[in-house]
Structure 1
Amino acid sequence: MDLKLQGKKAVVTGGTKGIGLAIVQALVAEGAAVAFCARSKDGVEAAVAGLKAQGATAYGEAVDVSDKAALAGFVENAAKALGGIDIVVANVSALAVGGDEESWKAGFQTDMMGTVRLVDAAMPYLEKSGAASIITISSVSGREIDFAAGPYGAFKAAIIHYTQGLAYQLAGKNIRANSVSPGNTYFEGGVWNQIETGNPDLYKDSLALNPTGRMATPQEIANGAVFLASPAASFITGTNLVIDGALTRGVQF
């Protein structure tokens, strides 16, 4: 299928590893120009160099998305570097699962406000696009109670609600908004790799919950996200796409 992403311009937060990196790579493979950020300067520079070596148009900055001014500056610089913005993908999470007040603050500033501020900063550019699309990365923890109940699950649920509100509010401007809720996703250096080595009992129990007998790969999540972001999904807006290998049991109507 031609996703019609050739020449489109995308901005991704958290684009140097895991799901974010897979989304960046998938966008580039479809012909899109991509700007992305992450907290590690070395990680950003290495990712940009790797993409440019493949002939891609890529721009990156080291940014903490909980810093409003820094995030807004990155979006402006990205729009200048790419010549506009057609797609934004809000992917960063603080992964805050503690019950203390600092975890709640971290989840709010990074997961929730990092998403809202990205969309707000990109909106003037999205309004000029003929194929504008907003993708937010939520989680199955936003639709059921699991070990991540607390700030992580609460803000992931709020992101779904926020995104569906955007879809309704922006439909008249031809700007689509969808969320993706990944199940457990395994990659080297990721949270489940860390749990596998640091808390093997939790890893074993979590793996056993999935009837497929495995966790997702970042590429499997990216495939769904990039399709929703693309003009090929031109009449899909307000959707929360669960990609979890039948891990969750709640019925979506």
Structure 2
Amino acid sequence: MDLQLKGKSVLVTGSTKGIGLNIITALANEGCNVGICARNADEVKATVEKMQALGVKAHGEVVDITDSESLEKWVASCAETLGGIDGFVSNASAGGADVEESGWRRNFETDVLATWKSVNAVLPYLEKSSSGSIVALSSTAALEAFAGPVPFGAMKAAMLNYMGNLANQLAPQGIRVNSVSPGPIFIKDGAWDQIKQAMPEVYESTKAAIPFGRLGKAEEVSSQVLLLLSPIAGFTTGANIVIDGSFTKRIQY
């Protein structure tokens, strides 16, 4: 299936490792130009070179997405280098290790406020696109009780509310807004790999609670993100797609 992404330009935050890197790579393989950002300069440089080797335009910068100036500079540079912006993926997250006030502030500033700042920065460019699309990475932790009253799930839930309302607001402009909520996803050296090494009983109990009998793969998330970014999903907006192997038990209406 042709996703009609060839020649489009999509920006992805937190795009040098994990799901973000997988999304960027999948986009480049579709012939899509990509905007890359992360905090590690060497990783940004290496990722840009890998994407350029796939035959697409790629622009990357070291960015602190909680810093408006840094974020806006990256967005403007990407638009200039790539020739516009057709899509944006809010992928960067503070994670969920810190449950003190500092953690609540960090998750709010990274997962919610930075997403809002990013949307504001990319909107002028998306308005000029014939297929403007925004996709935010949330989590099943936003949907059901999981890991206790921690900032990660609460802020991912706030993100979903923001995305849903934004979809309604931007629909008259032809800009689509959707979310993806992955369940436990195994990535080498990622969070669940670390849990597997440090807390094997938590890893195994979580795996046993997934009817598919395994954790998800990054590719299973990125493929859905690409579909939502694609013009062929032109009537899909305001959706939250759960990718969890039936880990969550709610009935989705």
Structure 1 length-normalised TM: 0.98
Q: Contact 2:31/2:55 (CA < 8 Å) preserved in 1?
A: no
Report the CA distance between 1:52 and its aligned residue.
1.3
Equivalent residue runs for 1:202-217 within 5 Å? 202-217=202-217
Equivalences for 1:45-60 in 2 at 5 Å? 45-60=45-60
C-alpha separation between the residues in 1 aligned to 2:245 and 2:134? 24
Give SS of 2:166's match: helix
Report if aligned partners of 2:28, 2:54 keep a CA contact under 8 Å in 1: no
Q: Name the structure 1 match of 2:153.
A: 153
| CA distance in 2: counterparts of 1:79 and 1:231, whole angstroms | 19
Rate the CA distance shift 1:44–1:129 in 2: closer, same or farther, 3 A.
Answer: same
Q: Which runs of 4+ in 1 moved over 4 A?
A: none
Tell me how many residue pairs correspond in the alignment.
253
Instruction: Write the deviation string for residues 195-228 of structure 1: whole angstroms up to 9, x where unpaired.
Output: 1111111111111111111111111100001100
Q: Once the 2 structures are TM-superposed, how far is the Cα of residue 56 of structure 1 from its aligned partner?
A: 2.1
Which moves more between the two structures, 95-104 or 165-174? 95-104
Secondary structure of 1:179's aligned partner? strand
Q: 2: distance between equivalents of 1:182 and 1:96?
A: 15
| Residue equivalent to 1:195 | 195
SS of the counterpart of 1:228? Answer: helix
SS, match of residue 242 in structure 2: strand
Q: Which amino acid aligns with 1:78?
A: C
What corresponds to 2:39 in structure 1? Answer: 39
Where does residue 229 of structure 1 map in the other structure? 229
**Post-superposition shift, 1:148?**
5.7
1:157-185 residue CA offsets vs partner (Å, 9 max, x unmatched): 11111111111000100000000000101
Residue in 2 aligned with 1:117?
Answer: 117
Aligned to 1:238: 238
Q: Decide whether the 8 Å contact of 1:177 with 1:237 is kept in 2.
A: yes
CA distance in structure 2 between the partners assigned to 1:65 and 1:251 by the alignment? 35
Counterpart residue number, 1:74: 74
* Whole-angstrom distance in 2 between the partners of 1:97 and 1:205: 19
User: Alpha-carbon deviation of 1:39?
Assistant: 1.0
Amino acid at match of 1:161: N
List alignment gaps of at least 5 residues for structure 2: none
> In the alignment, is the contact (CA less than 8 A) between 2:29 and 2:54 conserved in 1?
no
Q: Does the 8 A contact of 1:96 with 1:106 survive in 2?
A: no
Structure 1 spans left out of the alignment, 5+ residues: none
Secondary structure of residue in 1 paired with 2:105: helix
Give 1:81-100 correspondences, 5 Å limit: 81-100=81-100
Structure-to-structure mapping, 1:112-191, within 5 angstroms: 112-147=112-147, 149-191=149-191
The letter of the residue matching 2:143 is R
AA partner of residue 192 (structure 1):
W
Paired residues of 1:97 and 1:149 also in contact (CA < 8 A): no
Q: Deviations over 1:2-52 (max 9, x none)?
A: 111111110000111111011101111111100110111111111111111
Conservation of the 8 A alpha-carbon contact between 1:10 and 1:85: yes
- Contact kept, 8 Å, 2:14 with 2:92, in 1: the verdict is yes
Question: Can you list the C-alpha shifts for 1:121-175, whole angstroms capped at 9, x where unaligned?
Answer: 0010011111000000000001011116421000101111111111100010000
Local SS of the residue matching 2:85: coil
Give % identity: 44
- Tell me if structure 1 keeps the 8 A contact 2:184–2:215: yes
How large is the RMSD of aligned CA atoms in angstroms?
1.0
